Every structure is written in structure tokens, then in C-alpha cells.
Amino acid sequence: MARDYYGILGVDNGAGPDEIKRAYRRLARELHPDVNPDPAAQERFREVSTAYEVLTDPEKRRIVDLGGDPLDNGRGGGAGGADPFSAFGFGDIMDAFFGGTGGGRGRGPRSRVQPGADALIRMQLTLEECATGVQRELAVDTAVICSECTGSGCAPGSSPTMCDICGGRGEVQSVQRSFLGQVVTSRPCPTCRGFGEIIPEPCRQCAGDGRVRSRRTVGVRIPAGVADGMRVRLAGQGEVGSGGGPAGDLYVEVEEIPHEVFTRDGADLHCTVSLPMTAAALGTTLPLPTLNGTEELHVEPGTQAGTVRTLRGKGMPRLRSTGRVDGQGDLMVHVDVTVPTNLTKDQTELLRQLAALRGEEQPDLGAGGRNGHGLFSRLRDSFGGR
């Protein structure tokens, strides 16, 4: 009496390849000897492995559907007290446990439906737009599902047919003789390219690919605080896969336009303010434009070149990895003191009078006066002179 291979796996007679594979994986994880050492479980695992081998072979499954048993009288192996792994290759065991493609024998036809690739588009933003965030509509040119065949690749009213060359297996085998004996190799069927079926009447719009290229509009929200090189992910807005497969993701990469006043260091901003020598000496207050409006910058009398003034909280928003803003950076103001050139006669005379009042008519390059700490004496000391 023929064995009920469908019943062994717990599937219906009309079960598809994916349903059969899922049923086997579920039972294999439960009954594998490495997981369940019970002898009864090992026997059950042997039966499940044999049933899966039979139902994944189109020719053997055809015999089962006709009421026969393809393993009767020892044909095909895997009967009786054989090793539980003999009816099922090592690659198939790895596939059952880890979902891989395995090795060894062929794995049957591959699906026409493939996941789509991710897409990337770049968006230029000013520093002000990076600080506030923007909402924009982008024109994106990607692959979309074909409206004529809705992804099937077939012309309206037609459907795929089984490949006559490989019999729907998606691969062909060749036998070669070597000093080790006969070697059987498998390769994708050249006629159906491994799909196991062919499209006799391809869709005219997509040429059988199930997708076409089209320009569409996508809305994107750029959060406040983004920086150059950061990417915003739009799930499912990328390329549609062949055969109408699920779309990949769309990534919008920020290109920050250099600012004419500010330079950026993370959430902090830097700028340079040039002050006349007199303003630095006497002190002053001047308006300073920031991203949040105009601020008053107070310069203390006697401010030296290279002085850095920090305006707290006047920088960029701090954007965390969670997408939330956590406070503001600072604005660093670098003071540059300019020395006047091309002085008039009167200006020169005034500066000479000021130098005389301060005792600065001539720089001290000698012994340094009474204390002996002039420029030359310091250089002599640094070189070990006496």
C-alpha cells in the first residue's frame, strides 16, 4: 500500500512548494536527533525527510498523485532502516534549520518575484534649512509595478507555462565520467533561466519583467539638526522588484551647502569677527547675525586677537540617533584684530603720541632694561647662552 506522504508532512494534496517546505522545517526542528534523542522521534524524522524528498521531486510527486509509491521495492533509497540523513542531503538539513540554499543537489525552480533594490537621491540644503528642517516633494525616477500586467510579466489573458526542457524543475543535469566514476552536475535551465516556467506571451509594456521605469513624486520630511552626509530612510519607496516583487527603500542623503559666515562642527557653529585696533582697545558692542536672529556681541576693552567668545545655545539643534532634538549647540565667535595700514600723516603722528604716552616708542630688543628680559636675552637663554 502506498504511503501517504502528504499526511506525513501534514499538508493537503494541493500544497505548493513553499507550504511543503514550511511544514518540513517545522517538523525537522522538532524531530531532528540533535534536538530530540527519542528513538521514536528519530524514526518519525526519517519518515518526514523521506516525504519531503518525494514531494519536492516533480516526477516522484506525480507518481504519488497517481496513487503509486515512487520508493516501492527500494527505488530511490530512503526506505526501511536507512540512516535518517540518507534520504536527505546535508545541504537540505542545513536549509531546514537555517533557511539557507544548502549545497549538493538542486533546490528546484527559483521564483520570478524578487525583492527590489534600494534607491538613493541627494538633496541640497542650506545651513538654515538644516537648522529648521524642511518638508519637500521629490521627483524620483525608479522602477514601479507594470500597470498592464500588474507584475506577472504576461500579456493580458495569458499565463506562464511549464518549461518543456527542464520539466518545471528550473535546472538540467549532465553526467560526466571520471576516474572516480560518474559525476552528476546541475545547472540552471538555459531555456527558462531557472524559473521552471516560460512566458509565451510577454507583456508589451514591460517585456515580461513585471515592472517599468517611471517618474513619481514622493514627500519627505527632513528633521531639524541634520548634517552633511546624513540619510533619511523612506521604507518601501525604492525600486520595485522583478516580477512585481516588494519595493526596496529610498534613502535621501543631505548635501549641506557651505555657509558664507558660519562653519559647522557638529551642533556648534563658528564665525570670525574682525575688529579695528581701536575698537579692540576701547571695547565696543556690535550686532551679530545668528540663525535665530540678531544678537548683541559685547567686546571688552583690551580684547586680544584670537579671543573666542561663546554664545550658549545659539548653534544648531542636537539631533540624536532616535530622531529627536536634544538642546542646541553653541556659537563660537573668534575675534580678529586688524592693524591699520596706509596711515595719513596726522594718524601717524597721533599713534606716535600714544606710543610716547605708553612708553612704547620703540620695542625692547636689547637686554630687557633693568630686568634683563628683552627679546634677545630670552632667545640667548633658550639656546643656553650666558
Name the CATH code of domain 263-338 (choices 2.60.260.20, 2.60.120.680, 3.40.640.10, 3.10.20.340).
2.60.260.20
Q: Is 189 annotated as a binding residue?
A: yes
Contacts of 207 (CB under 8 A, 6+ apart): none
Cα torsion for 310, 311, 312, 314, to the nearest 10°? -130
Residue pair 87/46 in contact by the 8 Å Cβ criterion: yes
Domains 119-160+199-256 and 263-338 share a fold: yes
Q: What is the pLDDT of residue 282?
A: 92
Name the CATH code of domain 119-160+199-256 (choices 2.60.260.20, 1.10.357.10, 1.10.10.10, 3.40.630.30).
2.60.260.20
Q: DSSP 3-state assignment of 141?
A: strand
Q: What is the pLDDT of residue 88?
A: 44
Q: Is 146 annotated as a binding residue?
A: yes
Cell of 176: 560526466
Residue pair 288/294 in contact by the 8 Å Cβ criterion: yes
Of 37, 39, 35, nearest in space to 25 by CA: 35
Q: Is 154 annotated as a binding residue?
A: no
pLDDT for 369 beyond 80: no
User: What residue segments make up the domains of the chain, in order of their start?
Assistant: 5-98, 119-160+199-256, 263-338, 346-382
pLDDT for 35 beyond 80: no
Q: Is 271 annotated as a binding residue?
A: no
| SS3 track for 150-161 | CCCCECCCCCCE
Cell of 259: 555657509
- Band (pLDDT 50/70/90 cuts) for residue 63 is confident
Taking the C-alpha atoms of residue 276 and residue 336, their distance in angstroms, rounded to an integer, is 9
Q: Is 163 annotated as a binding residue?
A: yes
Taking the C-alpha atoms of residue 386 and residue 380, their distance in angstroms, rounded to an integer, is 7
- Band (pLDDT 50/70/90 cuts) for residue 377 is low
Predicted confidence (pLDDT) per residue in 153-186, tens digit: 999 999 999 999 888 888 988 877 766 666 778 8
* Cα dihedral across residues 105, 108, 109, 113: positive or negative: negative
pLDDT for 43 beyond 90: no
Taking the C-alpha atoms of residue 196 and residue 364, their distance in angstroms, rounded to an integer, is 95
In terms of Cβ atoms closer than 10 Å to its own Cβ (0-12, 13-18, 19+), residue 34 is: exposed
Predicted confidence (pLDDT) per residue in 205-243, tens digit: 999 999 999 999 999 999 999 999 999 999 999 999 988
Predicted confidence (pLDDT) per residue in 81-129, tens digit: 434 444 444 444 444 444 444 444 446 688 888 899 999 999 999 999 9
Predicted confidence (pLDDT) per residue in 288-327, tens digit: 999 888 999 999 999 999 999 999 999 999 998 888 888 9
* Interval 338-367 mean pLDDT: 82
Name the CATH code of domain 5-98 (choices 1.10.287.110, 3.40.50.300, 1.10.3720.10, 3.20.20.70).
1.10.287.110
pTM, 2 dp: 0.60
